[in-house]
Amino acid sequence: MPRQIITKTAAITVQANTNQEDPYVNKLLKLIPADIIAVYLTVFNLIQAYQRSDGGTNGTFQWIVFAAILVITPFYLRLIAKVESVLQIIFCVISFCIWVFSIGGPGTGKEIGGYSIQFIASILLPIYTLFIPFVYEKATK
């Protein structure tokens, strides 16, 4: 399954059975950059497992890794995954950010309005995941 979402407009333009519009589940899978999240999660867990000799945290290093993967993500999606839609890339980058902060990520211990960033992202994650294919479809019409 290619990573590029096939919209109704694209399917009509091409008019081939092989390029029918992607159903909801396929759109959902293509809007969550699971491979990029897996890379981040692996590096994040390695950072968490490393104990600094001075007893400090690895917060700065976590921010650097997050920023590096965030910058790489659009290039990876465009060049490696062959995603052509800029809108799809933007939605994937947002999805990556929500996943990172719901896992804990570099925002661990930080608060917004008295709630931890991880808590807010954890609430936002299922809502975003549920609605993002609908929002993407409306945005591409």
Q: What are the pLDDT digits (tens) for 56-113?
A: 667 788 899 999 999 999 999 999 999 999 999 999 999 999 999 999 888 888 899 9
pLDDT band at 10 (very low <50, low <70, confident <90, very high): low
What are the domain boundaries of the chain? 8-13+33-139
Residue among 75, 76, 125 nearest 100 (CA): 125
User: Can you name the residues that pair with 105 across neighbouring β-strands?
Assistant: none
pLDDT tens by residue, 30-61: 899 999 999 999 999 888 887 666 666 677 88
**For 77-82, which contacts have Cβ atoms below 8 Å and span 24 or more sequence positions?**
77/3, 77/33, 81/3, 81/35, 82/2, 82/3, 82/4
Can you give the pLDDT at residue 59?
Answer: 79
pTM of the model: 0.82
Give the 3-state secondary structure of residue 112.
strand
